[in-house]
Amino acid sequence: MNPASILKFLSAKKQFEDNHPKFEAFVRTVLSRPLEEGTVLEVTVTRPGEKPMTGNIKLLQSDLELLAELKELSEHSR
């Protein structure tokens, strides 16, 4: 990743955190303990005037490795 892309990402990340502080706190709480293979993540999306749509995934070892890398990137950006 080039430096300009990193700076753009960090700016967008900061804006997201400022816009959604409760979500950041939620994620920090969830990640305060290690996730385990077999953990189910569920997401519901509700668009204005539409019925909610829900989907989920059961975490695999490869998913846990990706999440660990993302967490490391996030910690380095503070």
**Residue linked to tokens 């999306």:** 45
Q: What are the pLDDT digits (tens) for 3-38? A: 888 899 899 989 999 999 999 899 889 889 989 999
Q: What are the pLDDT digits (tens) for 54-65? A: 999 999 999 999
**So where are the chain's domains?**
1-33, 36-78
Residue-level pLDDT at 50? 98
Instruction: Give the Cα separation of 48 and 71 in Å (integer).
Output: 31
Contacts of 57 (CB under 8 A, 6+ apart): 40, 41, 63
Arithmetic mean of pLDDT, 30-50: 94
Dig out the tokens for 5 from the structure.
């892309």
pTM of the model: 0.63
